[in-house]
Amino acid sequence: MIETKDVWFTYPSGTEALRGVTVTIKEGEFVAIMGQNGAGKTTLVKHFNGLLKPTKGHVLVDKTDVTKVTVATLAKSVGFVFQNPDHQLFSETVEEEISFGLKNFGFAENVTEKRVTWALNLLGLTQYRKTSPFMLSGGERKRVALASVLAWDPKILILDEPTIGQDYQQKEKLRQFIMQMETQKKTVVIVTHDVEFVAECNPRILLMREGKIVADGEAKKILTNSDLLTMASIVPPQVAQIFLELADLGFPRNVIDVYEAREILFKRLGKATR
């Protein structure tokens, strides 16, 4: 679904943000891109919808070379939610914001109404339907931006720091929705520093440093590798830290999420009480 081949990108200032990035993301994959600030994460994903064009190399999205088409052409199949929602909000009401893309893509009025209502309900925004998005909190504006993209049901969803400003309940809703999108063969790519959220989702991780991908693998392997985490200045998930301490008692070392931890502990406690 997404393929980069030896992609380099240099900003007009001369900053070399990407250096020879080659990666393939398949249809239906959930990928988290992690690393320090300035590692090139956001720069990379902006190539996935044509906002940036490679200085050198090639980027193919759904077999289309992003340098050959406009951002508008890619927009229907690639939904992008910015880290700062104020960079993409402009309508007078939340309802108008969510319906804008649907109308622009030619959806029928009755379909637009249903999709707007669905998105409002999904992200807990129904009460703000007639409210200006700029009257909402940062976390709520983030959800409006997400709703405005989800409404047209893109094949690929790119989320830049989606959990910033969200409480645990909203993060859990987002996690469940991403899991649902996986079952529908949607491709989801997130850029995030939220190691706890990543641990609970257990996606494939692309770890970046200084414009390069330095590790690529399942979350369990990446988030329990102390050398990789130290290199990328990432603190391991709390559950991983606890189970590392419990390893001498016979517990597995590669546990990163609370769901697996609970299952292991329940089994151990059940044996202990028998």
Angle at 246 between CA 241 and CA 249, to 5 degrees: 165
pLDDT of residue 212: 96
Summarize the confidence of residues 173-179 as an average pLDDT.
Answer: 88
Domain(s) of CATH 3.40.50.300: residues in the chain? 1-71+181-234
Summarize the confidence of residues 45-73 as an average pLDDT.
Answer: 94
Is 207 a residue whose pLDDT tops 90?
A: yes
Task: Count the Cβ atoms, other than its own, within 10 Å of residue 184.
Answer: 9
pLDDT of residue 272: 53
DSSP 249: G
Summarize the confidence of residues 100-113 as an average pLDDT.
Answer: 93
pLDDT of residue 274: 46
Render pLDDT for 1-48 as a digit per residue (tens, 0 to 9): 999 999 999 999 999 999 999 999 999 999 999 999 999 999 999 999
pLDDT of residue 24: 97
Task: Count the Cβ atoms, other than its own, within 10 Å of residue 158.
Answer: 26
Place of tokens 């050198």: 56
Say which CATH class 1-71+181-234 falls into. alpha beta
198 — pLDDT class (breaks 50, 70, 90): very high
16-25/30-35 β-pairing: unpaired
Task: Count the Cβ atoms, other than its own, within 10 Å of residue 91.
Answer: 16
Percent of the chain with pLDDT over 90: 68
> What tokens appear for 262 in the block?
């609970």
pLDDT of residue 32: 97
Is 254 a residue whose pLDDT tops 90?
A: no
Across the chain, mean pLDDT equals 92
Q: H or E element: which one contains 106? A: none
Summarize the confidence of residues 50-54 as an average pLDDT.
Answer: 95
Summarize the confidence of residues 92-112 as an average pLDDT.
Answer: 94
